[in-house]
Amino acid sequence: MAKIAVYPGSFDPITYGHLDIIQRACEIFDKLVVVVSDNPQKKSTFTLQERISLIKECLKDNSQVEVGSFSGLLVDHLKSKNVKVVIRGLRAVSDLEYEFQIASMNRSLYKEVETVFLMPGEDYTYLSSSMVKEVAALKGDLKKFVPPAVEKALRQKFR
């Protein structure tokens, strides 16, 4: 039986930090499903479809990864797909408390779920989508933060 995990997030936009976590997860699991959160209450720079398209473009050569979306509670999505493992990235100790709360809540809603925390490589411990968007808005160099397709999309958004 294949080991499957889900990596949820807003991915607004996907960064090299996210891609690093995806690569690490693919070394542990047979299949990884990257799911983009469709939360209408959250103001996103990119639409849900744009985020999915960018992720698919960045991962087009990785046959282990499937890309999709979900709305509502993550645990409901997990149950509907019969998946019991969630991947979350931890950049710094400051992420741990928030992520621990989410993992605990998910487990209280779905007892079978396990959350696996992965740390990105040292080059990405400071990297966040918010910071990338700020650099893009200020016309800074994005090459070491995001793949070329994402850089192009950010340049178009922040013209």
| Residue-range domain boundaries for the chain | 4-157
CATH architecture of 4-157: 3-Layer(aba) Sandwich (3.40)
| C-alpha span between 91 and 123 (Å, rounded) | 10
Kindly list the catalytic residues: 18, 42, 91, 129
The amino acid sitting at 132 is V
Between CA 66 and CA 70, with CA 106 as vertex, the angle to 5 degrees is: 35
pLDDT at 20: 98
pLDDT at 94: 80
pTM of the predicted protein model: 0.95
pLDDT at 2: 83
Residue-wise pLDDT tens for the chain (159 aa)? 789 999 999 999 999 999 999 999 999 999 999 999 998 788 899 999 999 999 999 999 999 999 999 999 999 999 999 999 999 999 888 889 999 999 999 999 999 999 999 999 999 999 999 999 999 999 999 999 999 999 999 999 998
